[in-house]
Amino acid sequence: MAASLRVVTVNVLGPANPDWDRRSALTAETLRRLDADVVALQEVPVAGGTVEGLLGPGYTVTPFSRTADDGVAGALATRAPHRVVEEVDQRCTPRTQDFPWAATLVVEVDTAVGRTLVAHHKPSWQFGYEYEREQQALAAARLLERLAGDADHVVVLGDLDATPDAASMRFWRGRQSLEGVSVCYQDAWETLHPTGPGYTFDARNPLVRAGEVATAVSRRIDSVLVRSGIHGPTLQVTSCARVLDEPVGGVWASDHFGVVADLALPGHPPGSWGAQPIG
């Protein structure tokens, strides 16, 4: 069996929102069952052991360095010990200054598939801020291109707050350039569900309908991305699914659904020929 890496991203809709005790218990149960190698959490209290309580023992956890006034931000956790490489402050324009934890946190971790750079990317969330999301994607991608030579693989994940047709996501996925720069990351969901909408912020969820953006259409805004070399992605997406996308005992975990993906070493590296069937 090929070596593999399981990654998860979940926006947990922190304790300032209703029913946190039951919601967080469901999230913790799910995360522990998934037993992922890499977990990116958003809208979570990063002090006081909340992240560790959701994940269970055995993870190395690094929170974003800046939080909202209530201590909520993002955190990145890995089963194997990781080394923090860099954190990019993504408050890139005057109107982004009131979102302190807009950031890209990059760590390096030795996994079963090799040395892997993992970027937890959290751009601006506001609907009309696609210009900022473009600039934030560009800053993150430039950093990762500079660092990629020392890694076998690069994975980007998080609540990216942009739909697949948005300019920032088109840039990530190699569909367009920005300011003379182009990269290509494979979208794990699109790889295995090319015609499925895969909404992660869904109007059928009562927490969406009761929340601050209740008039918004259903959207896929939480993603797992795998960097490609010139011959394609260095890891093969073997599974990708939404998690926490149904109520359990009447409880919805969050207004976002999470995404879990299994990434494996391919049968032969991109750019080489594998064995061909005879006859």
In order of start, what are the domains of the chain with their CATH numbers?
A: 4-264 (3.60.10.10)
Query: Both tokens of residue 204?
Result: 């059928």
Q: What is the pLDDT of residues 12-30, one digit of tens each?
A: 999 999 999 999 999 999 9
Is the dihedral angle over the CA atoms 161, 164, 166, 171 positive or is it negative?
positive
C-alpha span between 229 and 171 (Å, rounded): 15
Q: What is the pLDDT of residues 144-169, one digit of tens each?
A: 999 999 899 999 999 999 999 999 99
Is the dihedral angle over the CA atoms 134, 138, 144, 148 positive or is it negative?
positive
Query: Both tokens of residue 148?
Result: 């990629």
Q: What is the pLDDT of residues 130-149, one digit of tens each?
A: 999 999 999 999 999 999 99
Q: What is the pLDDT of residues 32-77, one digit of tens each?
A: 999 999 999 999 999 999 999 999 999 999 999 999 999 999 999 9
Give yes or no for a contact between 142 and 119, defined as CB atoms under 8 angstroms apart: no
Q: What secondary structure does DSSP assign to 176-216, as a single string?
A: --BTTB---EEEHHHHH-TT----SB-TTSHHHHTSTTTTS
